[in-house]
Structure formats: C-alpha cells, structure tokens
Copies of this chain bind each other. A is one copy, B any other.
C-alpha cells in the first residue's frame, strides 16, 4: 500500500516558529481553551507572534474559535472575548495496544474521545508478529469504515507494546508478547497499512495519555506505573516524555528489589515484576490450586479474575498472595519516589483495578519505605480509565509526532 506521510496543515514552520506553534498547542491542551492574550502571557511570546501563529493553526484547522459563554471580557473593553481551543475533529488517531491475551484497537479524535473500539483475543507470544499485525489491520479498516470519517484525516497509528522498544525506529528489541527478539514491528505494520505508524513502550503511551488528557494538564512532571501482565513505567519531566539516552528509559519492572530473589521471565532474579505482575501472582497462587500455565495468557487472565474475587471475599491465603505482591510494588514505587521525588504518581494498567488487599499493602509499603526524615507523602492516584487509557495514549503519541 502507498505510504501516506501526513502532517496536519500545510504550514511547514521553521524551527523557532515550530517551537512557538508547539508551545501554543501545548498551552491549549493544558488549559482546554484560552484567549490570545492569555497565550501570550502564559508562554512569554509577543501578542503579535501569537496572532500570526494562531492564524496559521486556525487556517490549518488544528484549532478553532470558541465564543465566550459568559458574555464579555472586561479587559477587552466591551469586545466579546474570543477563546481558542484545539479542534477535536482536525484529525484522528488509531490506537493499538498489544497485551498477552488480547489486542485492543480504537479510533480517537484529537480530544482523546473514542469513536470506536474492538478487542481481539490473541495469544501474543504464540502468534507470529505478522499475523498479529494482519488481524489488527482488519479491525482498523472496519472501525474507520464504520465511523464514517475520511480516512485521509487519520494522522497515524500509535501502537503500545510491553517491553523494550527503540524509539523512533520502532524496533521491538525484547517484548514478552513476541517470541522473537528484534522485531521490526513498525515496518511490518506500515507495509500492511500505509498509515504513518509510531510504536512505543505501552507505559510510555500511558504517560503521554496522562500528559495530554490527565494529570499532565496540572503537573509538568509526574510518573505513571503500569501493572498487569508486566510492570512498567512512564516518566514525564517538564512536559516531556523522558526516553533516556538509548530510548529504553524509563524501565521499572526489571529493577531489583530482592537481590537473588524470585526468578523473573526476563531470566534475572529479584525484579519487581517477578513479585507484582499477573504471572508472579498466579505462580504463587498455583500452590493453592487450581494450577494454570502462567505462559497461557488467556487462562492467566481468567485466573486473575477468580483470584481477585477470592481475595475480595476474604480468603486468607489468597489475601496474603495479593498483600505480598502489593507490598513489593509499593516498595518499588517508594524507590522511584526517593529517586525522582515526583509530585504525583499514577497507577495504571489492568491491575490498577486489583484486589483490595493489593492496594492496602501497596500504600502501606510506599509510606513505610519513602524518605526517612521527611513528613510529606506523595499523591498516589489510581487511573480509572481502563482500556480507554491505551486508546488515549495512542492518540497522544500520534499528536506528539504530527501536530506541529
């Protein structure tokens, strides 16, 4: 299929103008809507520059005018105040999240609102990457077609994968969802679709979702910890996703919390993931029976649902399994809080909805293990977005790359 290489609007700005353009889009993202004079004050660029750049963005359809609902602005001497906002229909993004037991495909507008979504069961580590790409693409075509939008307004595909993804090359160096190493998944998908494609670590995508549509509207720096089949992390510092020098940062699940401890699926010992992830919880609970294969993603997902129900109904042995997992994750998060001192931590991923015993132990371990000698505790938030988080993350990833 022919490669489309879309970018919103016909203005290709020089570096200084691109920087100002990005600053204005970022400011509107954070504030929802703002008048030109507010943009000038907030960003620290002249009103004349704001006028030029917002004219371009209006012409490109990236932003639109929003009439004041409350009448007139006093500072503007009786003129109605015109506020600007991002235009949600200026473009659309397709998001794909590949988990161990399913692939989720969704279509999102620029506000992060979901226009359509499908979930397909896969056994990711047993299916070939090409096969996974093929079944995802069928769903993409279906969703775009059903939604009735112009396919030319799809700015790109954002794909989230757990594991080590080289960004921006899209080479998946190691991921539990693929049985092979070094899978050029970006190429595989672009060949099949012609859509501009961006592949990132799934936790990074969650962090971008929070940056665009969540806590990032209030906090320029924050971190996201994801927990489900694996344990991941995304870090935003001063409004920028932190990728590290090789594109692998910020990795959390394989940091060591018990030297020489439990075996992790990465082959090393004592990783946080080896205690707090789904497979680690199931491994321990297998002793209580009935035992499931922890490398069978669909059986594992069903088992997790049963175990959470048993813990929440008070089964003492199962409660102790979740308490241990929560305590280990809480201690790991306390390490991150020590190292990064973020104002807020967001817990996300499927197991942000886990057993009550899991949270209790998590919070207790966080408080018991953060900086001795300090009396302030970190703001831990549970992300309630569910699968929408991934769709929004994909939209945010595409926006980051195509909106200026």
Which residues of A come within 8 Å of B, CB atoms?
15-16, 44, 163-164, 173-174, 181, 221, 233, 237, 242-252, 254-259, 266-268, 327-328, 331, 334-336, 338-343, 368-369, 371-374, 376
Contacts and interface: CB of A to CB of B under 8 A. Distances in A.
B369 A256 contact: yes
Contact of A246 (B15, B247, B257, B374): B374
Q: Which 10 A-B pairs have the closest CB atoms?
A: A244-B341, A174-B373, A249-B341, A255-B335, A245-B343, A266-B372, A251-B338, A248-B341, A255-B338, A250-B339
A335 B256 contact: yes
Contacts of A374: 164, 173-174, 246, 248
B336 A266 contact: no
Given A339-B233, A372-B268, A259 B256 contact: no
B248 A340 contact: no
16 contacts: A164-B374, A174-B373, A233-B339, A244-B342, A246-B341, A248-B371, A249-B338, A249-B339, A250-B338, A252-B338, A254-B338, A257-B259, A258-B258, A259-B328, A268-B368, A268-B372
Most buried by B among A248, A252, A266, A327: A248
A247 to B, nearest CB: 8
Given A249-B341, A250-B340, 20 more contacts: A16-B44, A164-B371, A164-B373, A174-B372, A221-B245, A244-B342, A246-B341, A246-B374, A248-B374, A249-B339, A250-B338, A251-B339, A251-B341, A254-B338, A259-B327, A259-B331, A266-B372, A266-B373, A335-B335, A339-B340
Nearest to A244: B341
A242 B15 CA distance: 27
A174, A335, A369 interface centre (most CB from chain B within 10 Å): A335
B173 A373 contact: yes
B268 A369 contact: yes
Contacts of A340: 242, 244, 249-250, 339
